Amino acid sequence: MNFMEKRIIKDGKVKPGNVLKVDSFLNHQMDIDLFDEMGKEWSRRFEGQGVDKILTIEASGIGIACIAARYFHVPLVFAKKSKSINLDGETYVAQVKSFTHGTINNVIVEKKFLSPGENVLLIDDFLANGCALQGLISIVQEAGARVAGIGIAIEKGFQPGGQIIRNMGYKLESLAIIDSMNDETGEIFFRDGNNKKIYSGLEK
């Protein structure tokens, strides 16, 4: 069991509707020591990819992507979900449906922050249906840049996003892949490298 799986077992809460609450350490209150370990692990997994820039979506991806950017010594760009007066140049825009909020957002990146030929590492906190990642991928492609890899904190392996992204040929590294959850018992099963269910949340 790796450090992310252990933390989910310790502090994650399973809610009805296949919702995993990790707001005590990941996407509301943030455990910076944990983020540091995540950044270090992604730097190991994507070593040699020549990462020039990291791209994420506001808001919950920003914290983990900031720490990851320190390990790669590159700038972090985050796609904005609304157009503001601060966006004063030409932009790349992609439509993204939010699994959490059930809404469709335009995500926006100013063109001056992504350049042709750059190797861009995508980072996000959750992967469910893969809509957010596909939006970021389309922006990177439109910029003439290359997706150097994708780092995800928690992947819901029982939803199609991970398989969709892997079938597109991208190097996708999730720190924890959840195969199933049970909101009645609190059980959480993780997937190992051989696609087996190996751990139970009953240890909490």
12 annotated ligand binder:
no
Residue 131 marked as a ligand binder: yes
Please tell me the pTM assigned to this model.
0.90
Among residues 134, 128, 127, 131, the alpha carbon closest in space to that of 153 is found at: 127
80 is in an annotated binding site: no
Q: Report which secondary-structure segment, H or E, holds 107.
A: strand 104-110
Those residues whose C-beta lies under 8 Å from the C-beta of residue 24, and which sit 6 or more positions away, are: 11
The response to whether 182 counts as a known ligand-binding position is no
Name the nearest CA neighbour of 9 among 193, 188, 191. Answer: 188
Exposure of 61 in the CB half-sphere (CA atoms within 13 A): 25
CA 130/CA 52 separation, integer angstroms: 23
Average pLDDT taken over every residue of the chain: 90
Q: What is the DSSP secondary structure assignment for residue 111, as one 8-state letter?
A: G
Q: What is the pLDDT of residues 123-173, one digit of tens each?
A: 999 999 999 999 999 999 999 999 999 999 999 999 999 999 999 999 999
Distant-in-sequence contacts of 169-175, Cβ < 8 A, 24+ apart: 170/137, 171/46, 171/49, 172/127, 173/42, 173/45, 173/46, 173/149, 174/127, 175/2, 175/3, 175/4, 175/38, 175/41, 175/151
Q: Consult the annotation and say whether 79 binds a ligand.
A: no
Give the model's pLDDT for residue 83.
Answer: 66
User: Any idea how long the chain is?
Assistant: 204
Residue 105 marked in a binding site: no
Q: Tens digit of pLDDT for each residue in 90-105?
A: 999 998 876 666 778 8
Determine whether the annotation assigns residue 128 to a binding site: yes
Q: Which residues 6+ apart lie within 8 Å of 47 measured at CB?
A: none
pLDDT tens profile 63-81? 999 999 999 999 999 999 8
In CATH terms, 3-82+89-182 corresponds, of 3.40.50.2020, 3.30.200.20, 3.40.50.300, 3.90.180.10, to 3.40.50.2020
Q: Is 18 annotated as a binding residue?
A: no
